[in-house]
Amino acid sequence: MFEIALNPDAKWQDGSVINADSYIYSMKQLLNSKMRNYRANLYISGESAVAG
């Protein structure tokens, strides 16, 4: 299990704030097998869950 602390000053490249919802969305896109991300296996090798 990982706990990720977001930098409150962090922003995406378009200038929007990185919050928990946008981070989770981004990670789901990264791990989506339909996106064919060749690095996804570096992040997950089993099941994932979001708590909080």
Number of domains in the chain: 1
pLDDT at 3 over 90: no
Residue 37 pLDDT: 76
User: For residue 45, what are the domain limits?
Assistant: 1-52
Answer for the pair 13, 26: CB distance below 8 angstroms, yes or no.
no
Q: What percent of the chain has pLDDT over 90?
A: 31
Chain segment 4-23, per-residue pLDDT in tens: 889 999 999 999 999 989 98
Looking at residue 1, its amino acid is: M
CA 34/CA 52 separation, integer angstroms? 26
The CA distance from 27 to 12, in Å, is: 13
